[in-house]
Amino acid sequence: MVIEARLRFPLNCDLGEGSLWDEQAQVLYWVDIIQDKVYCYNPKNNSNLAYDVGENVGAVVVTDNGKLLLALRSGFAWLDPDTGMVTHLYDPESDKPHTRFNDGKCDPVGRFWAGTMVENAKKGDGALYCLDTDLTVTRKLTNISCSNGLVWSSDQRRFYYIDTPTRQIQCFEYDIETASLGTRTVVADVPREIGAPDGMAIDDSDGLWVALFGGGKVIRVNPVTRAIDYEVKVSAPHATSCAFGGPQLDELFITTARIGLNEEDRRAYPAAGALFSTKVPFKGLPAHRFARNL
């Protein structure tokens, strides 16, 4: 089945990303990595509050007390949404100016996982990290080039992950008690002609929703059959992330980007960089919060 998402909030993001639905506040957090912005979109009044965090920001999650935890170019930090103040915590790649943090999410017990990507340097110099609730940081995967979508299965026993240049959705056995990754399998290879796999969300049937950069759509992948069984198109070439939201968690929000588009492309796709959404016949899993007050 194929449907078209509608324009939800017009904005010319260079690199809209990192969508995350706050079920308690009923708002969507997302970012513009290049413009150093964290956004809070409120569907009730169609407002989009912006925080300028002063540097590239790849991901945002919500903490137990409603503050925001960020994965910035310079590592982990937290943002007080009341004051806009950013407090830096730790940079695990301070010796690598050619990398920056990209996508991230909390696991089911509230640890913050986020990975880095390599810019204009040798591939494989990034990594995937876990910020635990005691604020210690552990490197979980190495030889990463562009860390992207990551989700956990409903039974908490599987971790799905995308390193974009591999064009694969990988599945790891997951130990929820120790946050350790076990045996790795590949549940899908994304054909080059449909776009590059970017951000990812999961529904309550464990279907994987993958935004396709260069593909202008989000696909639903069945990790058991490896089949693509649903598509949501957007009127922008670069779909970058997706998140289930709304009161029933049955609305798919999709971020987009205009980075890399020439003037002709931007005229052809004036909504590139905006936020899109559509109702889908699936429900998502609630986003997990960082299990510590900051």
Catalytic site residues?
198
- Are 235 and 269 in contact by the 8 Å Cβ rule? The answer is yes
Q: Determine if residue 270 is left, alpha or beta; phi over 0 gives left, psi from -120 to 50 gives alpha, anything else beta.
A: alpha
Residue type (1 letter), 14:
D
CA-to-CA dists, residue 42 to 94, 232, 244, 274, 283, angstroms? 35, 22, 14, 15, 20
Residue type (1 letter), 164:
T
CA-to-CA dists, residue 137 to 62, 245, 276, angstroms? 18, 29, 34
H/E stretch holding 264: helix 263-268
Please give the DSSP secondary-structure letter assigned to residue 287.
P
